[in-house]
Amino acid sequence: MTLHSRLLPPMPVAEDYRAHVAGFGPLPGGGPALIAELDRAGLTGHGGAGFPAAVKWRAVAARSKPGSRAVVVGDGAETEPASFKDRTLLALRPHLVLDGLQLAARTVDADRAVLYLSRANDSLGRTVAAALAERRGADTVPVEVATAPPRYVAGEETALVSRLSGRPARPRTVPPRPYDDGVDGRPTLVNNVETLAHSALIARRGAAWFRAAGTPEAPGTVLVSVSGAVGVAGVYEVGYDATVGGIVELAGGALGTPSAVLIGGYFGRWCAAGRAWPVTIEPRSLRRIGLSLGAGVIAVLPAGRCGVAESDRVLAFLARESAGQCGPCHVGLPALAATFHAVAQGDERPAALDRLARWVLEIRGRGACRHPDGATLFAASALEVFADELRRHLRLGPCAASSAAPLMPTPVLAPGWR
């Protein structure tokens, strides 16, 4: 198993601008040739959706016109509680992200560049502000920093567009997509900060270099947040040929016997550890067993911990983080979470499991945004992977492990959407 150091430095020490330029050289020019190189590289988005980067860049470049020039946004809000890859990248190599933002602005002819961060992370904001001060006079398009309210869906790209247009940071229905109708009605390119950092490396080193890692179908490297019952929780940069078990070994191995693994974050799925362990994180391999790397999260649940209790808390978190814009979210998710909680407490009848399984199917695909889809995907995996434990909870009530300290973070976030 190879641990790469393309995006992250070999040692976890922040790089200033002088060290960055010494290590990577000056910033190339960008332009249509860079879009072609991103295409050849096979770079996809690293914010969760995995959409081809070149397609997004080309669409925005084609729509950027005098009087309605494009806006480029680096999304570093990272509102997924189990993910910390973006903040790690920004803390250690902010200039690689800012290079990518500049290249994107030049390539799509943007006159506004924004780095979107969570208001909850003050220290990261100070780090970025210091990096921007170091670059003063070197950038073609000045970069502004905008903050997202600390809400789970505030980092979604249409919520971001709403926030930067002066409205609450709630997702909107699509279409239109941001490349057609983005910030203030202008064509807008939204890329996760990891995607932008990869773009800056491809601009300097080329598609062939990028494709030297990973697999032909899924080239390059990816940052993975590894947490839960592992020796050294942290962010690891690996190729897409890495296996789930191999990544856990890089993180110091599992503590105790792993029983289940959460892949992809809170919009991802639980999977039995034995089934996930040998599978590579290449999207095609994960899809074969119904998984997706999503936000780049691998969280290990050990034997002796209660998957029902962990899932109960996550579902309650997702229900209260609804933007409340449609029935499936405003009514469906609270009902789903409340019934799951009643099962976890032994306060329901066995028929509740059938009701939960039915609601998962009825809610999915009917929301104003993808929030109910992600929540029901997570719930469906909990119903499957922890089926035996759920039936025991129905018969006997909460197990002894239910009172253990939570393994998965479920923060109580500040109210409001501005």
| Element holding 238 (H helix, E strand) | strand 234-239
Q: How confident is the model at residue 344 (pLDDT cuts 50, 70, 90)?
A: very high
What kind of architecture, by CATH, is found in domain 307-403? Answer: Up-down Bundle (1.20)
If you average pLDDT over each of 12-16, 117-121, 241-245, 363-367, which comes out highest? Answer: 241-245
What number is the average pLDDT over the span 275-293?
Answer: 97
What number is the average pLDDT over the span 4-9?
Answer: 96
Check pLDDT > 90 for residue 58.
yes
Q: How confident is the model at residue 48 (pLDDT cuts 50, 70, 90)?
A: confident
d(CA 265, CA 269): 8
Check pLDDT > 90 for residue 118.
yes
Check pLDDT > 90 for residue 412.
no
pLDDT at 75: 98
Task: Copy the structure tokens of residue 62.
Answer: 């084609």
Which percentage of the chain shows pLDDT scores above 90?
93
Check pLDDT > 90 for residue 368.
no
Check pLDDT > 90 for residue 222.
yes
Check pLDDT > 80 for residue 297.
yes
The class that CATH gives domain 221-302 is alpha beta
pLDDT at 2: 86
Q: For the domain bounded by 17-210, which CATH number is listed?
A: 3.40.50.11540
What number is the average pLDDT over the span 290-317?
Answer: 97
* Domain boundaries defined on the chain: 17-210, 221-302, 307-403
Q: How confident is the model at residue 413 (pLDDT cuts 50, 70, 90)?
A: confident
pLDDT at 103: 98
Lowest mean pLDDT among 45-54, 91-100, 219-228, 332-341: 45-54
Full-model pTM: 0.96
pLDDT at 84: 97
Mean pLDDT of the chain: 96
- In order of 97, 165, 202, 219, 359, the CA distances from 373 in angstroms are 30, 26, 33, 28, 12
pLDDT at 102: 98
| Element holding 356 (H helix, E strand) | helix 351-363
Q: How confident is the model at residue 265 (pLDDT cuts 50, 70, 90)?
A: very high
Check pLDDT > 80 for residue 96.
yes
**Cα of 372 vs its chain's centroid, Å:** 16
What number is the average pLDDT over the span 280-297?
Answer: 96
- In order of 26, 63, 192, the CA distances from 7 in angstroms are 17, 30, 14
What number is the average pLDDT over the span 314-318?
Answer: 98
- In order of 8, 106, 160, the CA distances from 118 in angstroms are 21, 25, 11
